[in-house]
Amino acid sequence: MAAIVQTDADKAGISPVRVEVTGVTNNVYGIRLGSIYIIIGDGDPNGELTAPLGSIFLRNTTAAGNLYRNSDGGTTWSVPA
């Protein structure tokens, strides 16, 4: 299970974050925008990465790339149609 850990103090609601991850998802980086995160990383975030509802994960390990949206405020991510 992954945990999102902020590395710098919050500045006007926008902060870089470091994501500590075990399992499939790794090499993950992101920013905090208000109450959500925009995250870039390897692998599928489902079941691996917990984030607030509405957060976005950009997968960089497929030729076409994938965009996932957190749909439950937990570890469930969906690919928008």
For residues 32-56, give the mean pLDDT: 86
- Total-model pTM: 0.71
* The pLDDT of residue 64 is above 90: no
Of 72 and 36, the structure prediction assigns the larger pLDDT to 72
pLDDT of residue 7: 54
Q: Which amino acid is at 69?
A: R
Structure tokens at 43: 């692998």
| Residue 37: domain span | 3-78
**β strands within 1-81, DSSP E:** 3-6, 14-20, 26-33, 36-42, 56-59, 66-70, 77-78
pLDDT of residue 67: 93
- Could you say which DSSP state residue 33 is in? E
Q: How many structural domains compose the chain?
A: 1
Percent of the chain with pLDDT over 90: 21
How are strands ordered across the β-sheet holding 36-42? 3-6, 14-20, 26-33, 36-42, 56-59, 66-70, 77-78
